Every structure is written in structure tokens, then in C-alpha cells.
Structure 1
């Protein structure tokens, strides 16, 4: 690839990333990313109060009040810019622009469904994923807190741009002769949906991710620089070895100091980078001719001094924060405050962490909202394939390198190999995350973003080891597709308000119900007329809002009832899947309110379930529609006992018991198998006791399945059982009586032709065993 094309692709990748990050910031409503409102109001507090917050200060800051202040201080500047007017006056009086009043005015979604106790989202598909209701104050043109929050989101996007440049720079340091690998590593991160999503939000993770990447890039640059030491005298002189510049070490220290002011992971950078620099200097200084003892002391002194050049500026910038945290909270990292506000120390085991790894990996690639908005499974599958192919290539490449070279073992050379430095940083980040995870919930993949350089360079190396160049192109293209799809479809769909329509669609069921609140339910359309147990039933309700509504937005209660009117599904929330309370609807317009309710796993099927709606927990239900619920899988077909009509087979006919006394009840189990739909007519089943040519002595007569699963819903391949009850007369004489069963068309009364082995049976009835009547 020519250098001109390389530069063009570099700029194009950065530009596409910036479009993605800004795009995610535009389509994701404010405060619909984890703790975003806490991050924002921490910056807002600094802007208003002119000081750093602490735990216990009034305001919507939560645990973020104990976070390092760099990101929030920069955000505070943007808050003041957003609030500034002519003469730099701040407007704290206008409710649309007064950020100090917003915290108390946030409209929480009372049915928000972020995670369950195991940390797994229940909000799939996206219903009640929104933590807040978003009104006109957030609409364009932005003002006040909306403008300030979007400006801070743009700051996060710029931090992400810096992270990508550091990844590219690190790749150029590690592979100076293979710039395309550096470009590949950068592109994979640029098109990672979770990376763009995070950098379209108000979050201090953007700052620590950038500063961690910057520090690791600087560290690689220092340790990979070729020193060209020519003799022992030059190396043993009082100056730094040629090639190592003190300014580089000091600059690394300042980067680490800024990282310490961004998040606690900056402390890891301090320990790791200072240690690596010390080992690097120790290795580069050979023992002088004056003796081993003095030479070792000189090496140790020089190594310690170089590490101090890194640590001193870092502690100069960030050391005061460690002291402040110790003074305020008794913990230099303030981690105890995060644990305390999350409910205290938890007894978590490594096995429990392992059970959470699927969620952590999912949120490393693509998991939106409050960790409850999932993309389609194919998005995760794409990234799983990319990661798998890269891992196989990387393992093969390392194995081939070891077989090819097999150099003399040198511990320091091994420790300072770029791959080991990168892997060591990843392991340190993972270990710090693990100890925190054992103490408090931290099951989010973004906590690994400080180690993006090792992950990105490792993936690029693995992909580049495959002989076909299209492998890398396919990986980048597939990555971009996932990010664009999530930006264009997944997030906008989840938070879209209920649309206005011109009229009730022709395929909707007219209802014309007026609720006490004044809302009119004009009609309904079932979008999924047949679903399996465990699936979601989708429907669209068509409402009209009056000019005036009582105070408070009503909650919709969508219920699903199965056999014996047992409730098998419930959805409670604001309209529009939780996004569109009726108070925000334009009066007089027809609103298409798409909703869904999930069929409980323990539901009995098949059944024709009833959907009902009410707007108050204590109010009467209003029938809306019916839906067909079937088992996840039908039983395998069996040889029939008899065939009825064109497509129905009798597979079982059993009496329990086979002997009974007068006045007793006998259970008759019947099995049905469908080979062709029976049509729209309603079929009834009859069970007769006595001579089939005479009037029955006892009988059962009623719709098949008791009406819970009418025959008009039956489809080919279905097989199900029912049990009916035959009540015996109290004056029935003892003896043996035949029992027969059959089906008839309720509308016309005609029995369905019944055949056994191709022979039509008398009276179109199937003869069961004899029932013995005893005294």
C-alpha cells in the first residue's frame, strides 16, 4: 500500500469514527447510558459551586462525587459555556436553561427494567429500557442542560479520537515496517460499537481510556528505542544512555498524573510504567570495569532515578488527590465509597465471576442503554468470529516465532519485549478489575478499555497472520457494519416515541373504548398472531388523547390470560414501550402505541390467550384481542387410532378408571394430531356412554380443548391432548357399557367422517373400551 493511500485510509477511519461517536451521542437520549446523569451533574456541581464535590454533598452525583476530577472539571467549563449569555452572565432562573434545577425535575421511568439480580437484562425486546422520560426540554435546538450534556458528549468523542491515534502510534512503534497493522488495529477499535457508544456519552471512562492509551504508547516508545551504545565508558558516564531522553520520562509521568486525575486506573499506570522503565534502564546499562558491586549499585541508582523521573511528575499532579481521598474516606482510591454505595462488600466467588463473563464480553462489544439494550445476536456473532480468527492467528504466529528463533534465554529481554509489556498491562488491568468485581458489581466490558492497546494490537497481529489479505478487509468491513447497524437501527428503534397516524388502519380491530382517564382506545392490531411459550406477543394499540388529562401520566397494564383465565403475561409501563407517556401526546391525534408482553415460560399451551388492557391496577379489564400460544416444540407424530375428516387424527382414547360406580365421574383422555387445518368452523367433541345407535346414557359434549384452543387455530404438525369428564347417572344399572367418541361441526351438527384403517365406522364414532359399572 502506498504511503498516500495509507494516510488517506487513516484520515478516513478517524472521520468515520467521529461520525459514529457523534451519531451515537445524537440518537441516544440524554442519561440513557450507565450513570450518565451522575457524571453530568458532577460536572454541573463544579460549574455552580466552584469546588470539588464529595460524598454527602447535595445533588444528583451519587458515587461519582468521589471520582477524580479532571473529566468533570473540563465538563464544568462546557456547562458554563452552555449557560453563558451576553456579558458572560449565567442564567439560573429559566427552567429550560437552569441546570441546577434539572436534577430534581428528571422524570424517572417507574417501570425501568435495567437488570435483574443476576445482572442479566430482562428488557429484551426493548421495553422499559429507558431510565428516564424525555420531554421537550431535550429537543433541538438544545438549551441549558441539554446543550451542556451534548457538548460534554462531544468532549468524550474527542477523547476517543485521541485514543485511536495512540493505538495507531503504538502500532507504528511495535511494527515500524508494517504500518498497515497499526491501521488495522485502529480501525477495529474505531468500528467497535461499544467504543463509539461510550464515546458518545458523558462518562469519565473516555478520559481514562485515552490517557491509558497515551501512557502505554509512550512506554512502548521509550522501551523500543534503539540506544546505539558504543562502549562501556559512554554507558558508565554520568549521563543517561544515548537515546533515552529525560523529557520522555517526564512526559510519561505527566500523562500518568493526568490519568490519576481521571480515574483510579491511573495508579495502575504509575506502578506499571515506573516499574517497566526501571527494568529497562537496568538492562541497558552494562556493568563497568570497576567491579560488579559498584556497577550493580550504579545500575540500581540509575534505574531508580529513571523510575523517579516518571513517578515524580505523576505524584506532583495526582498525589494531592490520594491525600484528599485518604483524609475524606480513609482510602486513597476512594474505592470503599463505590463499594459502600453499591450495598457494601459482597461475598462473590471466582465461579460467580465466571458466570458473569458472557455479559462482560457482550458489553465489551455491544450492549447499550443501561446495559439492557441488546443488539441482534448476529452482531455479537460477528465480533465473536473476529476475536476467534484473531486469536487463532496470534497463537499460530507466536508459536511459529518461537520455533524459528529459539534465542538464548534472557529474562530482561523477555520482560521488555513489546508483546510482554502489552500483555502485562492487560493482565494488571484484568487483575484490578477482578478484585473490584469480587467486592462489588462491575460486570461491564468498558472497564477493560484502559487495556485497549494490548487488545487492539493483539487482534491486528492475529488477523495479519492469515495469508489471505481479504481476511483483514472482511474483519474491518464486518465491524463497521455492526456499528452502523446499531447506530441506525438498534438504538433509535428502542427509544422512538409512539408515532401519530392519520387514521385507524383497515386491518385493526375496532374497539372504541373510553377509559375513565379520558383516553380513547380506538382499535388494536396483533402483529404476532401466533407465538411460542417464552416469546413476546407484539401488538399495536391506537389511542386518542383528549384535550385535558388528569394529573399524572397513566400506566398501561397489558395482561395475557391463558387456560382457566390464568394470567400468563403482564406488562406495566408508560405507553410507547415506556418512552411515551400519554401526557406527552398531542391532543386529538391518533397515536400508534406498539407494545409487547412476554408469555411466561411455565404457561400451558396450546391455548388461545386473551389480551386485555387497563390503565389502573384496580380498574376492570378491557378485552383487546386474542393470540395463539403454542409449545416451543410439538411432540413427534405417532400412528393414529382413527382419522376424522380430512386432517384430524385421534391418537389416544383412554378411560380412567375402567370400572366405576353409578354417580361417579370417569376421566377420558383424548389425543389429537393435525395433518391439515380443519377450517374456520368450530368443532365439538362428544363422548357417549351406551349403545351408539340409541340415546346416550351419559355424555360429554363441548368444544375441543374446552374452547381454550379452538379448532380454527389448528395447523398441520400439531399434536396435543385433552381430558374430559364423563359423569355417570346415579341410577345406572350394573353391567358393561360401550364408550364412543367423535367430532362434529357445531354450526351444522354433522359428525366428521371417522375411519379406522381406511374403513368408515358406524355412526362416525370411535369405540373405546367397555366401561364396567359396579355397585
Structure 2
């Protein structure tokens, strides 16, 4: 009977193939649905993440463009033309130049694939024209963004460089999808065809936000993840289903390819070696006479599969004199794997594990945006629960022995990946979670297996399903709740009217920026507390340059205690994209810093300026400020009055004894010390006064100390704001005690007679003195009191007689 007789009657070959496809679709529709949702989310991430806003994405992109433009791999000292910079401030130029070729040390596989995908695009630049140099200090304040963006130029439809960039991101998404297929097949294999658990594995992998992020940017981490997932699957397949030597070729080949994608593919080599050992032992057990052919077969398969890695290592050795190319840190970090080295860093291993765990689930942008801490804590609890389940599985002797050994091997592989990622971080104790991507399918397997084992029977599947649904919700939320806010420009308003609580300033900086007003959230703070400052800006005219903004929190001596330097809008609204008439509010937090010479309480004020940052040899170039009348205010505007207090005053601190003098109902003078105790002509008189606020004073009062002669005439004096202006009196609170030191210079030549030192307080704005009342209730004349009195003594002048001899006389 021929082949035609074996066919179903009435069906053509095409119909039979279609039936197979329909049957496959019915069996695996869940996996297809997960893949579609993953691709959609990958595209959402792709579009949401601004250009160049992923760690080293600029350099990864330029690697691809170098291959396209030069049809060769970049040399270790390769140079490319920087993007054209028209900004007179040349904002972030050094940052851009440092990133242009930083990743040229990487293995080439991802970039070769990228070149094959985007060779047809017309990329017209090598990166952004301006960058944010401040992001490395405090991204939450100064901006998470590497580049300064212009939404009008970066929106769809994409063209030129942006088209090439997003096409490479799409390539990453397709590579990520290929990795998910391997995870799904691995789940079917390990869970013996139970599609619900295999789908759970695939879904967990697909909806880990960090995996989605890597699938939406230009990077080689996603390629190593996909290749590793396929290598792990094929190794398990060789052990469980196909023990022939030829089954080793594909996993060994993928391990070699992984090494040409990223050097952390090294962790796959022990896995492939272990698989080869299992195949060898199984062959030895079944037929000892065939051991030699099996060994030869394994050797030949391994050698053929290793050709890509051998070629890469040989290339590196010839051109870079290092097997790992210019990525010499791989060789240097291998000693970190030694037990003695790891033990010496044991105190930081706990932190390194925590950091790797947190960033495995989500570390975005330039490794500065992370998931909220409570989400990481929930995931940690889930993983601890799964770990307990894995231990129970290993202790359960009812489970097949080979499956328990596979779980042991999977756990050791994950541990090896962690150790390698720790070594790759060169002991910085901050191994990125993406360095663990070679074990991503293994992590998903252990999570699903552990949860399924530890949960009660009636909720096993529900618990596993809840895990991936929770991750799906998180994955959907990240672009809108985490990424978009990090790069969002401030809201633009059309009205220039100030809101309640905002104080007017009305100054113009550089002719194009008007600072309408400001708001300080608190007029009082303690050292170390934040003060939130909101600036209200209005654009007057366009400027092609990206000026930086500085906000300084100064003490009364105008010494800076805190400062913020950033591009406006936390780096997301640079001055080059301001449009005339736009009004926006920009809010920052500053923290008063203690000093060795701290004096509290104190007054603080704010200083704002716009400038072009200088270099090591060129000073910052500050723009000039003018007020509404056109008067120059210099290169900055000063404003605000903030009280920085020490211990909070209380009503219990009011002196029990009556003060020496009372000034109105506002201030009392508790005590006075003189040095010297009796004033002397020619010696400065230092007066230390202990003041106490009876309530909050109405004004910043000035204290005067005048020297008056016996005829009531003014001889000399010294007027000085209380505390020298460091802590003005209008900031005092009832019950506060404040020390003021005053120096009065007593002239050396005084006419003979009696003198008094008179002291009082007055408002410098009106010149009005505060009324002074003595301890007995007596009102002091002229609103002043006599602090001290002395007599200028009579001095006799004595001129000694000097006899001069003339030695030249005869």
C-alpha cells in the first residue's frame, strides 16, 4: 500500500498540514496568547522609553552603526564622529563622548544581528546633541535622563537615527520572544507535558519587568538570556529524552554562540560539560563496548559546536592580546570566584544578593530607576515561599530521582550565575540583576515548581496563576507609573498668575527666562530636614542653548548649606525647548547641611541662577539678572526667609526671674557681660547680651551702643542688627534665648570727664526705637538704658631730658 493509501480520504496534503496547524494552535493557544501580549508590551516599553535612556544604549547603537558603516568589527581604539553640537553651553558633551564607544569591547554577535536588521536605515547621527551631566549625583532630583530630549523631534513617525534605534529595539523584542519559547518548551519537558505549569513558567518569564525592559532597548543582555534559555532546554532534553552524543551539538553550539554574545555566557560551559558527562555515563552503562565511539562523538560534536567561540577568542588574542578582548575585566575578575577571595568580602555578600535580587525584577534607565520597595518585598516573600517548596520537593522521596537531581543541577546553575555576576561587578557589591539573565528560565522553573509544591492542594494552580497575573499587572503598570513619570516634563500653563502661597519675584534672567515667583513649603526647618522650593518660570523668547539652573540654600553669611544644579524640569525640560509664553512650576528639595562652626538658630535664604557650566580651566558663565524696572541684580537673584532652628523653644524656657530690661512687649534683656568690666579709653569694649523673645518680634531690630559724654553729646557708637543679621529678630519665637555680641571701640583720646554707654533697639525701616522699661517698671528716657559709665582720667605728659654729646668737637 502506497503513501496515498495512508492518507485520510478526501483530504489533500495542504488540508492535512492545515489540520496539524489547527491542532497545534488548539494545544498551545495559551503560549501564543502570552507571546502576543509580550510583544505588545515590548512595543509599549519600546515607545515609552525615550531615546538613549537605557544603560549604554548609545554605545550599543554605535557598535551596530560602526559595523554597517565600516563593514568590520570596531578596533579597541576605534573613533567615531560625535554628534553635531549647536548648544553654546555644550551641555553634557563630555558624557556623550565618554559613551560613544564604551561598549565596543563587547563580543559582536548581537551587533552583527543588529547590523543585518538595520543596514537599510539612514542613521544621520551617532547620538544625542546634548546630555544631562547632573544625573549621576541625585537622579531623583536632577533627572534620570542621560540625554536632553525634544519631544517634537523624537515623536513618531520615526526616521533616520530614531528609526534605526527603534528597529534595533524591535529586534530585542523578537529575541526576547524566542527566549520565551525556550522557557515554554522547558516547562513542557520538566513538568511532563502539564501545559498549565509550562504556561505559568513562560508567563512569569514574559512579565518580569526587567525582562520586558531588556526586550525593548538596544542591549546584548536579552540575546544572552534567549541563547541561555535554549541551551538549558536542549541540555535537559539531551538528559531526559535523547542520550545520543549528537544531541550535544546544539547545546554546545548555543553555549559557544552565547559566549560570542556576552562573556557571562561562560556560565553555560559547566552546564554543557555536565550534560556531556551524563550522556557519557549513560552510554557506558548501556554498552561498554561503544564507549570509545561515544567519547569520540562527544569530542567531535563539542569541537564543531565550539567553532564560533574559538574564532572569537582567537580574534581577541590576535588583535587585543586578551582572550576576552578589551573586556579585560572578565579575566581580572575570575580570581573573585575563589573561595578565599569571596570569604574576604563576606560582609558585603548579603547586600550584593539583595541588590541583585531587587534589580533582577526591575532596574530601568541608566540603572537608576527601580521598582518601589514594597513590591520588591512582596516578591522576596514569594521567592522565599518558592524556595521552601523546592526544598520540600528535594526531600520528597516519592519524586523521581532524576527530577530531584535536575532540581539540584538547576539550583547549582543559578548559584553559579549569581557568583559569576558578583565577580563581574569587580567586587563593587552591586551586581546587576540582568547579569543573572543566563539563568532566567531556570529561575522561572524553580519559582513555579516551588510554589506548586508548597501550596495546599486546592490552591496550587491558583497560587501559581496569581504569581504570573500579578507580574502581568506590574508589567502593564511600569511604563505608565514608573517610566513615564521619570521622564515627564512639567505641566505647561498659559496663565502667569501666582497661586495662593506663592511669593512674587518678577526678575528676568538672560533675557529669555522670567522668574515670576516662588513658594517655600515651610518657613522653619531643622538641620537635616528638607525644604521644598517651587520656582515659577515663564519663557519670554526661545534660546538654542541648554542653560543649567542652580538653587542654593544659604545661611545669613551667604555661605551655601545645600544646593541643586540641574536642567529645568529635573532635566526633562531644557531651556532649548522652551516656547514663548509657557509657564511652568519646578520643585526641588534641599537639605540644610551642618558645619563644624554651626550656629543655630539661623536664617536661611535662597539663591537662583542660570549658567553655562565651565570646565576644569573655564569658569561657569552666569547669565545676568534684572528686575522689573530693568535694574541689574548681578548674576543671581536672592530671596526668601527661612528659619533653621536647633532645639524647639517652649514656653517653659521663659526666665523665672524678671529681666533687667524689657523692650516693648517683644524682647527682654536678661543679662549683659562686659569685657573689660570697666571701659577704658583706647580699648574695644566687648558687650555680650543675652536676649529673650517674649513673643515673635515684629521686625528685624538693630541694637545700638553709643558712647555719650557728660554733656549728653554723642561721641561714638556702633549700630548692628541683632546677631549681626545671622538670625534676625523677626524669626525669633516666644521663649527663645539668643546671644548677641557687640563691640564698641572706645577712642584712645577722650576729653577729661564722665562717659556712659547707652544701649537700645530700633526698627531700621522706620527708625523708631522700642520703649525700654527697667526691672522696677521705670520707663527709660529716650528709649535707651545706661549699660556702663566711666571717667576719662587726666594724664600728665613727661618728656625726658636727653643729653646729646658731639663726639666730633675738639
TM-score norm. by structure 1 comes to 0.73
Query: Does the 8 Å contact 2:220/2:262 carry over to 1?
Result: yes
Shift of residue 597, structure 1, vs aligned partner? 5.6
Task: Structure 1: give runs of 5+ residues left out of the alignment.
Answer: 84-97, 116-120, 226-242, 290-294, 690-694, 732-736, 755-759
How many angstroms apart in 1 are the aligned matches of 2:77 and 2:163? 27
Shift of residue 172, structure 1, vs aligned partner? 3.2
Shift of residue 123, structure 1, vs aligned partner? 2.0
Query: Does the 8 Å contact 1:641/1:649 carry over to 2?
Result: no
2:277 corresponding residue in structure 1: 279
For each residue in 1:232-287, what CA deviation from the matched residue of structure 2 results, as whole angstroms up to 9, or x when unmatched?
xxxxxxxxxxx435564333233223323312233432x22331222212443464
How many angstroms apart in 2 are the aligned matches of 1:650 and 1:170? 81
2:555 corresponding residue in structure 1: 562
SS of the aligned residue for 2:78 comes to coil
Shift of residue 156, structure 1, vs aligned partner? 1.0
SS of the aligned residue for 2:535 comes to strand
How many angstroms apart in 1 are the aligned matches of 2:236 and 2:369? 37
For each residue in 1:672-723, what CA deviation from the matched residue of structure 2 results, as whole angstroms up to 9, or x when unmatched?
8x9xxx789447698999xxxxx9xx9999887766566777899xx97643
SS of the aligned residue for 2:552 comes to strand
How many angstroms apart in 2 are the aligned matches of 1:66 and 1:5? 46
Say yes or no: does 1:48 pair with 2:69. Answer: yes
For each residue in 1:557-594, what CA deviation from the matched residue of structure 2 results, as whole angstroms up to 9, or x when unmatched?
333222321112333343332333323323x3224252
2:438 corresponding residue in structure 1: 450
Q: How many residues get paired?
A: 685
Say yes or no: does 1:67 pair with 2:106. Answer: yes
Aligned CA distance change for structure 1 residues 277 and 462 (closer, same or farther; 3 Å): closer
1:22 corresponding residue in structure 2: 43
Query: Does the 8 Å contact 1:359/1:444 carry over to 2?
Result: yes
Of 157, 166, 189, 1:150 maps to 166
1:602 corresponding residue in structure 2: 594
Of 615, 620, 623, 2:637 maps to 623
Range moving further from structure 2, 655-664 or 621-630 = 655-664
How many angstroms apart in 1 are the aligned matches of 2:174 and 2:224? 13
How many angstroms apart in 2 are the aligned matches of 1:649 and 1:173? 85
Of 1, 24, 38, 2:59 maps to 38
Q: How does 1:608-757 map to 2 (within 5 A)?
A: 608-615=604-611, 617-618=621-622, 619=624, 620-623=634-637, 625-626=639-640, 628=642, 630=644, 639-642=652-655, 660-662=677-679, 664-668=685-689, 681-682=698-699, 722-725=738-741
How many angstroms apart in 2 are the aligned matches of 1:252 and 1:340? 24
1:319 corresponding residue in structure 2: 310
SS of the aligned residue for 1:546 comes to coil
For each residue in 1:43-100, what CA deviation from the matched residue of structure 2 results, as whole angstroms up to 9, or x when unmatched?
112222223222223327524333222211221133223x2xxxxxxxxxxxxxx52x
2:129 corresponding residue in structure 1: 107
1:205 corresponding residue in structure 2: 221
Query: Does the 8 Å contact 2:142/2:566 carry over to 1?
Result: no
Query: Does the 8 Å contact 2:144/2:369 carry over to 1?
Result: no
Query: Does the 8 Å contact 1:130/1:495 carry over to 2?
Result: no
Of 156, 159, 164, 2:180 maps to 164
How many angstroms apart in 1 are the aligned matches of 2:157 and 2:699? 59
Query: Does the 8 Å contact 1:559/1:571 carry over to 2?
Result: yes
Query: Does the 8 Å contact 1:356/1:443 carry over to 2?
Result: no
Of 420, 426, 438, 1:432 maps to 420
1:80 corresponding residue in structure 2: 119
Of 79, 88, 98, 1:58 maps to 79
Aligned CA distance change for structure 1 residues 491 and 407 (closer, same or farther; 3 Å): closer
How many angstroms apart in 1 are the aligned matches of 2:669 and 2:258? 73
Q: How does 1:244-643 map to 2 (within 5 A)?
A: 244-245=243-244, 248-269=247-268, 271-285=269-283, 287=285, 295=288, 299=291, 302=294, 305-306=297-298, 308-309=300-301, 311-334=302-325, 336-337=327-328, 350=345, 354=349, 357=352, 359-374=355-370, 379-391=372-384, 393-401=385-393, 404-405=396-397, 417-438=405-426, 443-464=431-452, 465-467=454-456, 472=464, 475-476=467-468, 478-507=470-499, 508-515=502-509, 517-526=510-519, 528-529=521-522, 533-534=527-528, 535=530, 537-546=532-541, 549=543, 552-586=545-579, 588-592=580-584, 594-596=586-588, 598-602=590-594, 607-615=603-611, 617-618=621-622, 619=624, 620-623=634-637, 625-626=639-640, 628=642, 630=644, 639-642=652-655
SS of the aligned residue for 2:551 comes to strand
Query: Does the 8 Å contact 1:124/1:374 carry over to 2?
Result: no
Aligned CA distance change for structure 1 residues 636 and 727 (closer, same or farther; 3 Å): closer
Shift of residue 304, structure 1, vs aligned partner? 6.4
SS of the aligned residue for 2:486 comes to helix
For each residue in 1:309-364, what CA deviation from the matched residue of structure 2 results, as whole angstroms up to 9, or x when unmatched?
3x23421343222221121112222254567999xx9x997369649726544433
SS of the aligned residue for 1:438 comes to coil
For each residue in 1:640-682, what CA deviation from the matched residue of structure 2 results, as whole angstroms up to 9, or x when unmatched?
344999xx9999978779994535435456688x9xxx78944
For each residue in 1:732-763, what CA deviation from the matched residue of structure 2 results, as whole angstroms up to 9, or x when unmatched?
xxxxx9x9999999999889999xxxxx9968
Query: Does the 8 Å contact 1:386/1:475 carry over to 2?
Result: no
For each residue in 1:589-628, what CA deviation from the matched residue of structure 2 results, as whole angstroms up to 9, or x when unmatched?
2242525363353366664422322436455243264264
How many angstroms apart in 2 are the aligned matches of 1:191 and 1:506? 45
Task: Structure 2: give runs of 5+ residues left out of the alignment.
Answer: 1-23, 82-99, 613-620, 625-633, 707-711, 748-755, 781-786, 794-810
Aligned CA distance change for structure 1 residues 463 and 384 (closer, same or farther; 3 Å): farther
Shift of residue 423, structure 1, vs aligned partner? 1.9
How many angstroms apart in 1 are the aligned matches of 2:220 and 2:49? 17
Aligned CA distance change for structure 1 residues 761 and 135 (closer, same or farther; 3 Å): farther
- RMSD of aligned residue pairs (Cα, Å): 5.2
Aligned CA distance change for structure 1 residues 38 and 687 (closer, same or farther; 3 Å): same
